[in-house]
Amino acid sequence: MPPEQVRPLTAAPSNATLARFRMVPFAVRRALRLRSADAVHVHYGTSVRLIRQGGMPKRPYVLTLHGTDIRRQWKEPTFHDEIQRAIDDAAHVFYANTDNCEDAMAARPDAEFLPSLVDVPGLPSWNPSEKPTVLFISRWDEDKGVDRQLNLAAKLSEVLHGKADLVGLDWGPGAAQARRHGVRMLDRMPQQAYHSQLAHASVGIGQASNYFSTSEFEALCMGLPVAALGTRLARPDDGSVPPVMEGGLDDVVAQVLDALADPQAASLRLNGAAWARPRYAADAYVPKLAALYRRVAGL
């Protein structure tokens, strides 16, 4: 179920009665889906509470830890007990980000790596617009390396002024600062519309951390040339790393300038799609997950 069918994505009304009332159709939808399910795959540690609410049919579940839940919230007193209980009660636990390996296995020693999966056939073809565009792929917050990302935004704004459009999502506590640095902000939008933005970019800027998230892998699967500060951790299964333009601030800026001169050549040189598609396309993981679900459900 997509997030917008699971729970409201907007802030709750200040009126408590209205806040409870708007949850009713979401709760009914979850209950009906649970009733028809043999097992459930829950994404994000705190989402387990949604299948434990009163009136929800009890079903065995698999849990995927997606990043902030195990990276930060699991270590906070406010969330630790809830997330650890969700982990303990799961029939199986996956972690989706390479940097989460140590924490996930500390919380659950048999936790297994399962990358964020991409619906490759559903992605548009990469077709950069005539106007050169550099797109910051991720939101502007701490988990995405926001301070380093803002330094990169400021430098790119300086060197690309009048030569390329610099854009990013109006999402996260650093978004206002990014706007002041010259990044044109895009309102948050449905996933399909965002994929269109990725498909028309000339160069994507991945998060300034040692791991990537789903949006970066979607960009790589499209063939979009991606640059990012720092270096990425290797995947725990095959030891490979994303083929991107990386390094320090000056190194990344220089590589972005080169890629903007010929985005198609940069895409061919990096060959990101050939690396990303066999590792992140969802269909490759269906047999493994189907077997796990049958086992969890006792079928």
Looking at residue 42, its pLDDT comes to 97
* Residue 201: pLDDT over 90: yes
Q: Which of 5-19, 138-152, 245-259 has the lowest mean pLDDT?
A: 5-19
Q: Which residues touch 238 (CB under 8 Å, ≥6 apart)?
A: 279
Looking at residue 106, what is its pLDDT? Answer: 98
Is the pLDDT at 241 greater than 90, yes or no? yes
Q: What percent of the chain has pLDDT over 90?
A: 86
Structural domains in the chain? Answer: 37-117+283-297 (3.40.50.2000), 120-280 (3.40.50.2000)
pLDDT at 3: 83
pLDDT (0 to 100) of residue 289: 97
Cα–Cα distance, 200 to 132 (Å, whole number): 9
Confidence label for 12 from pLDDT (cuts 50, 70 and 90)? confident
Q: Using the structure block, give the residue that is written with the tokens 């009906």.
A: 32
| Phi/psi of residue 154, nearest 5 degrees | -65, -45
Q: How confident is the model at residue 14 (pLDDT cuts 50, 70, 90)?
A: confident
- Type of residue at 4: E
Q: Which residues of 93-112 are buried (b: 16+ CB within 10 A; e: fewer)?
A: bbbbbbbbbebbeebbeebb
Q: Give the tens place of pLDDT for each residue, 141-176.
A: 998 999 999 999 999 999 999 899 999 999 999 999
CB atoms within 10 A of CB 187: 8
**CA angle 124–67–10, rounded 5-degree value:** 70
pLDDT at 207: 96
pTM of the model: 0.87
**Is the predicted pLDDT of residue 279 greater than 80, yes or no?**
yes
Task: Please say if the pLDDT value at position 9 is more than 80.
Answer: no
pLDDT digits (tens, 9 = 90+) for 47-80: 999 999 988 999 999 999 998 999 999 999 999 9
Q: Over 80: is that where the pLDDT of 94 sits?
A: yes
Residue 40's pLDDT band, with cuts at 50, 70 and 90, is very high
